[in-house]
């Protein structure tokens, strides 16, 4: 169940916040924050937040924290899966 629109927006925001944190940790200068790779990370993090909203068990603190962690760490996992999928299709 997706839940109310406020919950959906909140979880998408938390996923985005995790993605922004991920980019802030990895960036070396301000232009790194607006490169295409960073924009892909923001988009993937928002999608991860939405998916977490669908899959979460309860509306409480640990799920907020886990959504942020999913936005932070899930972006690398999804990018690696897409990269591996692309490599298999090219051979």
CA distance linking residue 43 with residue 54, whole number of Å: 17
Asked, for residue 50, whether it belongs to a domain, the answer is yes
What is the pLDDT at residue 56? Answer: 76
- Please give the tally of structural domains in the chain: 1
CA distance linking residue 9 with residue 50, whole number of Å: 8
Asked, for residue 91, whether it belongs to a domain, the answer is no
What is the pLDDT at residue 1? Answer: 57
Asked, for residue 36, whether it belongs to a domain, the answer is yes
Domain of 23 in residue numbering reads as 5-84
pLDDT over 90 at 16, yes or no: yes
Closest CA to 71 of 26, 21, 31, 34: 21
Asked, for residue 76, whether it belongs to a domain, the answer is yes
Model-level pTM? 0.78
SS3 24: helix
Binning pLDDT at 50, 70 and 90, where does residue 57 land?
Answer: low
Name the burial class of residue 34, with classes exposed (0-12), middle (13-18) and buried (19+) by CB atoms within 10 angstroms of its CB.
Answer: exposed
Q: What mean pLDDT do residues 19-42 have?
A: 89
Asked, for residue 90, whether it belongs to a domain, the answer is no
């Amino acid at each position: 169940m997706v839940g109310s629109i406020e919950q959906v927006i909140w979880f998408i925001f938390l996923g985005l916040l995790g993605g922004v944190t991920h980019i802030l940790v990895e960036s070396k200068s301000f232009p790194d924050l607006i490169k295409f790779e960073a924009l892909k990370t923001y988009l993937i993090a928002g999608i991860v937040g939405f998916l977490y909203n669908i899959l979460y068990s309860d509306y409480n603190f640990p799920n907020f924290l886990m959504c942020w962690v999913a936005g932070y760490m899930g972006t690398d996992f999804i990018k690696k899966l897409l990269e591996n999928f692309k490599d298999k299709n090219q051979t």
